[in-house]
Chains A and B, each alone.
Chain A
Amino acid sequence: MKKTISVAVVVAIILMTGMVTGCGSAEVKKLPDEVTVQLKWIHQAQFAGLYVAEKKGFYAEENIDVILIPGGPEITDGIIPDLVKGNSEFAITSGDRLLKARSEGKPVIAIAAIFQRNPYVYLSLKESGIERPRALEGKKLMVAPDGEILHAAMLQRLAIDPNTIEVIIPYERDVTPLITGQIDAHMVYRTGTGLAFDETGYELNVIWVEDYGIRGYGDTIVATEQLIQQDPELVERFLRATMKGWRYAIENPDEAVDFTLEYAPTLGRERQELMMEMQTPIIHTGDVAIGWMEDSTWQGMYQMLLDGGVLAQPIDVAEAYTMQFLNKIYGKAE
C-alpha cells in the first residue's frame, strides 16, 4: 500500500513538472510577419530564389509569410513609389533605378544585389565577326531603352564615336531584326530577350558591357529607410531566407524551375531552365557571397549615371546601400 502511494506521488510529480515545463517551453508563437515583395518583372526564373525560399519553407523558418507580387512593363516605374508608400516591404529593382530614386530624394536603400554583374550584352551572329565593341563602328544596332545610358557610357569609355553607329528604333524584344539582317547587333538583357537568341540555335558572339568597365548591379533588393530603422530584425530574417533560397536554387536548378513553374504555370519549362543556367554565373560569381555588394561597383554605377546626366542631383553613394544585413547573415564583421 505504502509503495503504491509513493509510486503514485512520483508519477504525479513527473506529470506536473511535465505540464509546467511544457507550458514554459511552449512560448506563445508569434504570428508570422506578413511581408509583401514587389518583383521587378513577371513571375519567372529570374526570381527563383524567392520561390524556393517560400516553397521550401525558408521564410516560414524565419516566421515570415511572404506575398510575391509580379511586375510588368506598366508597373516598372511605380515599383519604388509603391515601396515608399508602404504597399510593399521589399522590392526588386535594378541598381541604377535605385540610384535614380535616391537622387530624387526617395528614402530607399539597397540591402543586397542579386545580379552581381551587368546583364547587358551585345549579341551578334558569329559570322559577323563582331567580337569587340570597336567592331560596332559603322554597324546597325538596336539598344534596349534601359540600356541606353550603359551604351553611351561604354562608347565614351572606349572612345568610340557614337555617330559611327546607327541605332535603329523602335527597339524590338525579338530575334527577327538580327536574324533577318535588319541589324548587325542587338543590345539585350542577357537573361531576358537574350534567351530567345539562344533558342534560335544560331552561333552568337556575346560582348558583355561589364568587360568594358560598365559595371552595375542588376536585380537588387531594396527596402525603405523607415523599415530598416524600425524593424532591422525583420529585414535580416527576410534577407537570410532569400539568400538561402538562392543558394538552394543554384544547387538544385531543376527544382528551382519546378517552383518557378508553380508560380508561372503558363511559361515553357525550357526557357526557364535556360534562364536559370544563364543567370547563375551572374548571381553566383564564386568569389563573393550571393547578394554581396562592393562599394567600387556602386561608385562606378553612380559615376556613369552622373556622367550620363540622368541623376536629378548628386548623392552620397554610401547611403544608397547597406551591408549591415549581409554582414550579419554571412557572419562578417562590420
Chain B
Amino acid sequence: MGFLQRSLRARALTFIVLLVIVPVGIIGYIAYNSGRQSIENEVKGHLESVAILKEHEIENWVEHMGHTLTWLATSPQIGNDTAMLTTYTTSDPEYLVAHESLVAELTRMTALGHMSPVFLLDSTNGRIIASSDVVWEGKFKELEAYFIQGKNDTYVSDIFHSLTLGKPTMVVSTPVKDSGGQLLGVLAGHADLEPLSEMMMERSGLGESAETYLVAENNLLVTEHQFGSESAFKTWVFTEGVSRALNGESGTSLYLDYRDEPVIGAYHWMEDMELVLLAEMDQTEAFAAVNRLRNTIFIMAGSLVAVAIAAGVLLTRQIISPLTRLTEYARRVGKGDYTAEIEIRGKDEIASVASDVKSMVGQLLQMQEKLLTSERLATLGQLSGSISHELRNPLGVIDSSVYYLKSKLKGLDEKTLEHLDRIKSSVSGSTAIIESLLNLTRMKEPQLAKLDLAAVTSDAIDTSRVPASVRVVKEFPEHEVTVSADGGQLRMAFKNIVKNAVEAMDGKGTLTVTVHETAKGQAEVTFVDTGVGIAPENLDKVFQPLFSTRAKGIGFGLSIVKMIVDKHGGSVEAESKLGKGVAIIMHLPLYSGENKEGISNDQEV
C-alpha cells in the first residue's frame, strides 16, 4: 500500500489494469456461466431423451419376450401337449409324442424370442419337463422366483448369474393354463442379454464420452460401460446418480461417475425391471466448447492487461518523466544553480506547469537582482550620507572662508582672484554632489498630491540650467494630465533627466519633452535628446547607481529617477540607439479621486 501511495506510476497502472480487468472479468464470467448453463441444459435434455429412448427400447425388448412367451403359452397346441405330459408318464407313447411336439415348439421359440433355453416347468414341483436344450430337463427350479411368480402372471426376473449357462441371464416366465383356466405349467425362457448390452452400448450420437448403462438394485453393473473391459456383473456402482435412482427418483444431475470423473448424468429408475438406467457424458467433453471460451477469455484478458500495462507505462512515462525533469530542475535551482535549464516539450498541462515554473524562476532571479540593487543602494546611501554630512560642514567653512578672503583682501591680483573663484566653484560643485547624495539617502516616502504633470515638467525644465544652444521643445496636451505625486520628488527626477540629456548632447542639440495620457490610462512623460546615445548592452544599467558612461558625474542621476518613479508606482525605461540620442520614457499612474493613498495624504496635509 505504501508503495501505491508513494508511486504515482503504480497507482496509475493499478487503476488502468483494474479498469480493464473488472469489465473483462465480469463479461467473461457472465459469458462463461451462461454458456455453461445453456450447454448443461442442452446436454441434460439430450441425455434425458436418450435415457427415455433406451428405456423404451428395453421395455419393448422385454415386452417382446413376454408377448412371445404368452403367445406360445396360450396356443392350444402347447396347452394340449402340457396336459398330456402331466397326465401320462414318461414311458407312455402319448407322453413321448407330446414331449417331442413341445420341444419342437420351444426350440422354435428360441429363434423367435431371443431366448435360450426355453423350457416348461411342472407347476406342481418346479421341475423342467421339456426344454429346447434337453440337458436342462429334470432340473428343479421350484425355489426360483420366476417359477413361483410365473404361475400367476408374466414375470421378468432380476438379472443373475446362471451356473449352467456360465453367464449372467434373465428369465421371463408366464403361466400355461388349460381352457378352463387350470394351471398346467410355467413357460420360461432365459433371455439372451446380448441385445440388452447392444442397446446400451449403441452410440447416442452425443459425443465420445457419452454412454448408457444399467445398474441393478444392488448397485451391480449389469451392462458393460465404455471405460473398462468386461466390468459388467463384477463391478458395483455407487454414484450419486445410482443412489438417487434407487431412491425412486428420475432426473439429471452433475456428479462423479464410477471413474470419479465429473459427468452430466440422467438417471432413470425402471420400476418394473428394478434397474437403474444411466446416460452420462463427461463434463470435460460437454463443456469443452465453453472451456475453450473460458481459455479465450483468459487469454484475451491477459493480452488486454498486457496492452493496458504497456499503454499505462507509456502514458505515465509521458507524465512522470517531465515531472522528474521538473523536480530535478527545481532541485538544482534550489541549490543555487541558476544555470540550470529545462526543456519544455509539448503544450500539455505539464508543459504549462514547467513553463510557469521556469518563468517563476526567472522572476525570482529578477527579484533577487532587484533586492541586491536596493541593498547596494541602501548601503551606499548610509555610507555616503554620513560622509556627506561630515564633508558639508568643512565645505561650508571653506566657502565662507573664501568669501571672507575675497572681501577682506582688496587689490588682489588676477591670478589670486582666479584661484579663489576656482576654490569657490569647486566647493559649490562638491556641495552639489553631496546634496544629490543626501537626496538619494534622504529620499522619503512621496507626499502625494493632485498635480498637473505638464506644469511640473515645465517647471522642472525652466528651473534647470539649460544652455541657449540647446533647444527645448515642449509637446504638452491641451487638457490637463493630472497625476498623484510628490511634486518636489517628481521635479527632482525631471531635472535629473534634463541634466543628463544636456550633458549627453554636449551643450547643443534639441530636447523634446512630451506629456500625454496613454490609451492604457497612464500618464506618460518622454524626454528625447539628440545626444550620443547609449549602447544597447548598457541600456539596462543606466538606472543602476554609480553607472556612468561619462567622466563627469558619479552616476546617481538616473538611479534617483528610478527610485522616485518606483516609489510612485510608475515605471521608467530608456530606449536608445548609439549616436542617435536617448529617449527616457516614464509612466505614472493617473490621479484618481478614489485613490486611498492620495486621500490619506491629503488628510495628512
Q: Does B407 contact A (CB under 8 A)?
A: no
Task: Name A212's closest neighbour in chain B (CB-CB).
Answer: B140
* Inter-chain contact B139/A286, CB cutoff 8 Å: no
Give A293 to B140 CA distance when docked, in angstroms.
Answer: 19
- Complex contacts, B216 vs chain A, CB 8 Å: 286-287
Residue of B nearest to A253 (CB): B234
- Write the chain A residue with the least CB distance to B143: A296
A272 and B142 alpha carbons, distance in the complex (Å): 34
Stretch at the interface among B156-164, B427-435, B493-501: B156-164
Are A251 and B234 interface neighbours, CB within 8 A? yes
A132-B138 contact, Cβ under 8 Å, with A251-B236, A286-B158, A286-B220:
yes
Question: Once the chains are docked, how many angstroms separate the CA of A73 from the CA of B340?
Answer: 113
Tell me the complex Cα distance, A204–B49, Å: 48
A8 within 8 A of B: no
B234 near A280: Cβ-Cβ < 8 Å? yes
Q: Contacts A251-B235, A251-B236, A280-B234: A285 and B140 contacting too (C-beta < 8 A)?
A: no
A285-326, CB under 8 A of B: which get 1 and which 0? 111110000101100100000000000000000000000000
Contact call A289/B164, Cβ cutoff below 8 A:
no
Q: Is the pair A289, B218 in contact by a Cβ cutoff of 8 Å?
A: yes
Q: Please state if B163 and A211 are interface contacts (CB–CB under 8 Å).
A: yes
Instruction: Please give, as numbers and ranges, the residues of chain B lying within 8 Å of A213 by CB-CB distance.
Output: 126, 140, 142-143
Find residues 142-167 in chain B having any chain A CB closer than 8 Å to their own CB: 142-143, 157-161, 163-164, 166
Residue contact B138 to A212, C-beta cutoff 8 Å: yes
Q: Is the CB of B138 within 8 A of A286?
A: no
User: B233 within 8 Å of A by Cβ?
Assistant: yes
**Quick check: A132 and B135 within 8 Å, CB to CB?**
yes
B157 contacts A287, CB within 8 Å? yes
Residues of B within 8 A of A212 (CB): 138-140
Tell me which residues across on chain A come within 8 A of B163, comparing CB atoms. 117, 208, 210-211, 281-282
Number of interface residues of B (CB under 8 A): 24
Residue on B nearest A289 in the bound complex, by CB: B218
Judged by a CB distance under 8 angstroms, whether A100 is at the interface is no
Annotate A177-218 by CB proximity to B: 1 below 8 A, 0 otherwise.
000000000000000000000000000000010111101000
Q: Are B138 and A133 in contact (CB under 8 A)?
A: yes
A134 vs B143: C-alpha distance when bound (angstroms): 21
| B555 CB-CB contact with A under 8 Å | no
Q: A250 near B: Cβ within 8 Å?
A: yes
Q: What residues on B are CB-neighbors of A294 within 8 Å?
A: 143
**B251 CB-CB contact with A under 8 Å:** no
Q: Is A240 interfacial (CB-CB < 8 Å)? A: no
Cβ–Cβ < 8 Å partners of A158 in chain B: 138
Contacts of A208 in B (CB 8 A): 163-164
**Docked-complex contact B137 and A285, CB < 8 angstroms:** no
Q: Are A285 and B161 in contact (CB under 8 A)?
A: yes
Is B159's CB under 8 angstroms from A286's CB? yes
A26 to chain B, nearest CB (A): 29
In the bound complex, residues from chain A placing their C-beta under 8 Å from that of B159 are 286-287
Q: How far is the CB of A72 from chain B (nearest CB, A)?
A: 28
**A55 located at the interface, meaning its Cβ lies under 8 Å from any Cβ of chain B in the complex:** no
CB distance A288 to B218 under 8 Å?
A: yes
Taking the closest CB of chain B, its distance from the CB of A48, in whole angstroms, is 13
| B168 closest partner in A (C-beta) | A286
The verdict on A247 contacting chain B, using a C-beta distance below 8 Å, is yes
A284 to B216, CA, bound (A): 13
Verify A281–B161 contact, CB threshold 8 A. Answer: yes
Whose C-beta in chain B lies nearest to the C-beta of A251?
Answer: B235
Give the distance in Å from the alpha carbon of A297 to the alpha carbon of B220 in the complex. Answer: 23
Contact A250 B157 (CB under 8 A): no
Q: Does A139 contact B (CB under 8 A)?
A: no
| Smallest CB separation, B13 vs chain A (Å) | 29
A residues in contact with B135, CB < 8 Å: 131-132
| CB nearest to A290 among chain B residues | B218
Q: Is A328 in the interface zone, CB < 8 Å from B?
A: no
Report the separation of the CA atoms of residues A285 and B137 in the bound assembly, to the nearest whole angstrom: 22
Query: Is B140 in contact with A247, judged by CB distance below 8 angstroms?
Result: no
Rounded to whole Å, the gap between the CB of A330 and the closest CB of chain B is: 8
Partner of A297, one of B138, B143, B157, B235: B143
- By the criterion CB–CB under 8 Å, are B233 and A286 in contact? yes
The answer to whether the Cβ of A157 comes within 8 Å of any Cβ in the partner chain is yes
Digitize A111-130: 1 where CB-to-B-CB distance is under 8 Å, 0 elsewhere: 00000010000000000000
CB–CB B161/A284 < 8 A = yes
CB of A3 to closest CB in B, whole Å: 15
Chain B residues within an 8 Å CB radius of A282 = 163
Q: How far is the CA of A133 from the CA of B135 in the complex (A)?
A: 10
| Bound CA span A211–B139, Å | 5
Residues of B within 8 A of A286 (CB): 158-161, 168, 216, 220, 233
Contacts of B161 in A (CB 8 A): 281, 284-286
Instruction: Name the one of B143, B158, B168, B236 contacting A300, with C-beta atoms under 8 angstroms.
Output: B143
Closest residue of chain B to A331 (Cβ to Cβ) is: B246
Closest chain A residue to B133 by CB distance?
Answer: A131
Task: Point out the residues of chain A lying under 8 angstroms from B158, CB to CB.
Answer: 286-287
Residue of A nearest to B158 (CB): A287
For chain A residues 33-90, which have a beta carbon within 8 Å of chain B? none
- Nearest-neighbour CB distance to chain B for A127, whole angstroms, equals 15
Interface mask (B523-539 → A, CB under 8 Å = 1, otherwise 0): 00000000000000000
What's the least CB distance linking A120 to chain B, in Å? 12
Q: Which residue of B lies closest to A248 (CB)?
A: B236
B448 to chain A, nearest CB (A): 65
Q: Which residue of A lies closest to B127 (CB)?
A: A213
The 5 closest A-B pairs by CB, nearest first: A213-B140, A287-B160, A287-B158, A281-B161, A286-B160
- 7 inter-chain pairs at a CB distance below 8 angstroms, sorted by A residue, are A132-B137, A211-B139, A213-B140, A213-B142, A251-B235, A286-B160, A286-B216
User: Which residues does B use to contact A, with CB under 8 Å?
Assistant: 126, 135, 137-140, 142-143, 157-161, 163-164, 166, 168, 216, 218, 220, 233-236
**Given A284-B161, A286-B168, 11 other A-B contacts at CB below 8 A?**
A132-B135, A134-B138, A158-B138, A208-B163, A211-B139, A211-B140, A213-B126, A251-B234, A251-B235, A251-B236, A296-B143
